[in-house]
């Protein structure tokens, strides 16, 4: 029971980073980025390749992965100058498909569907307990940095862009630069989450960064609430509590997956009907 709890808490910390960084783009800036999990995968693969193939130290690998994902996040924001709302969401979904194709087909680096095995945990954090402490510290640092950003004048600019882009532009705000900055920060932190996931489970393959984690992240954002970092954390806790509670029921293994989806849908419907902003969100679900 105790090792299982450590495992779940570590995943909660990693997903808290994913969802907080997604909420920065989606909840605060209004950019629905379905490619967020693609950046998550890029961070994981970057660190896995650098540490297993090239023997890079963990510190350099995690910084490299974060910076690479930050750059790609910034590039993803460029189409938002011309493409808005649902069309931008579809474009980022296309990015997720492209990253999945790269993970599968660039076999010299990613080993395709065979995945990358033997990813070592960083020295001093090889045990589950110590690695949980590492992910908790990473989640805490992410929260405080993003809290500082969102409570600053820059954060208010992001919210103005989300509420009415034309009004924000008419007030002299550089909306393109603000969007790029938000996507850069979002990409950096989700890249860090990808590194932590790769070194936690010590094996990655393309299936690890497909639609399942995207559904979990979006559900956590919607349930916890848009434009609320605390809501992001609460949403992750609720999603994992709902998901993992099925393990303790006497259900056939073939039913657990479908039941998990049904429970997600019920929770989402209840939240959308009775709390359109999420449990502690500050922006409407448009």
How far is Cα 109 from Cα 204, in angstroms, rounded to an integer? Answer: 12
The model's pLDDT over 137-177, given as tens digits with 9 standing for 90+, comes to: 999 999 999 999 999 999 999 999 999 888 998 888 999 99
Whole-number pLDDT of residue 74:
97
Q: What's the whole-number mean pLDDT along residues 82-98?
A: 91
- Domain locations in the chain as residue ranges: 2-208
The model's pLDDT over 196-224, given as tens digits with 9 standing for 90+, comes to: 999 999 999 999 998 889 989 999 999 99
- pLDDT over 80 (residue 179): yes
Give the burial class of 170: count Cβ atoms within 10 A of its Cβ; 0-12 exposed, 13-18 middle, 19 or more buried.
exposed
Whole-number pLDDT of residue 217:
94
Whole-number pLDDT of residue 17:
98
Residue at token pair 């006497």: 250
Whole-number pLDDT of residue 98:
96
Whole-number pLDDT of residue 1:
53
- DSSP secondary structure of 158-188: HHHHHH-HHHHHHTT--HHHHHHHHHHHHHH
Whole-structure pTM value: 0.95
Which candidate, 275, 30, 25, 281, places its Cα nearest to that of 163?
30
Whole-number percent of the chain with pLDDT over 90: 76
How far is Cα 228 from Cα 23, in angstroms, rounded to an integer? Answer: 7
Residue 204, φ and ψ in degrees, nearest 5: -135, 150
Which residues have C-beta within 8 Å of that of residue 12, sequence separation ≥ 6? Answer: 236, 237, 240
Higher pLDDT, 242 or 12: 12
Whole-number pLDDT of residue 243:
85
- pLDDT over 60 (residue 70): yes
Whole-number pLDDT of residue 223:
93
């Amino acid at each position: 029971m105790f090792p299982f709890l450590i495992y779940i808490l570590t995943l909660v910390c990693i997903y808290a980073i994913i969802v907080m960084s997604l909420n920065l783009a989606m909840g605060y800036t209004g950019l629905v980025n379905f490619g967020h999990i693609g950046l998550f995968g890029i961070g994981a693969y970057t660190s896995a390749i650098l540490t297993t193939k090239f023997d890079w130290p963990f510190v350099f690998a995690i910084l490299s992965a974060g910076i690479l994902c930050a750059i790609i996040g910034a590039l993803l924001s460029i189409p938002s100058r011309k493409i808005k709302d649902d069309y931008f969401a579809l474009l980022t979904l296309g990015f997720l498909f492209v990253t999945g194709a790269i993970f599968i087909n660039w076999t010299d680096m990613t080993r395709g569907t065979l995945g990358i095995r033997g990813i070592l945990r960083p020295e001093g954090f090889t045990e589950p307990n110590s690695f949980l402490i590492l992910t908790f510290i990473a989640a805490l640092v992410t929260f405080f940095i993003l809290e500082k950003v969102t409570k600053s004048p820059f954060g208010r600019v992001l919210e103005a862009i989300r509420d009415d882009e034309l009004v924000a532009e008419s007030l002299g705000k550089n909306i393109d630069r603000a969007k790029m900055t938000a996507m850069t920060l979002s990409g950096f932190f989700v890249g860090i989450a990808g590194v932590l996931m790769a070194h936690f489970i010590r094996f990655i393959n393309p299936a690890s960064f497909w639609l399942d984690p995207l559904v979990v992240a979006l559900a956590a954002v919607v349930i916890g609430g848009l434009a609320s970092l605390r809501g992001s954390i609460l949403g992750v806790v609720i999603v994992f509590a709902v998901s993992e509670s099925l393990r303790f029921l006497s259900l056939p293994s073939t039913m657990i997956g479908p039941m998990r989806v049904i429970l997600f849908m019920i929770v989402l419907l209840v939240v959308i009907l009775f709390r359109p902003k999420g449990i502690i969100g500050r922006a409407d679900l448009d």
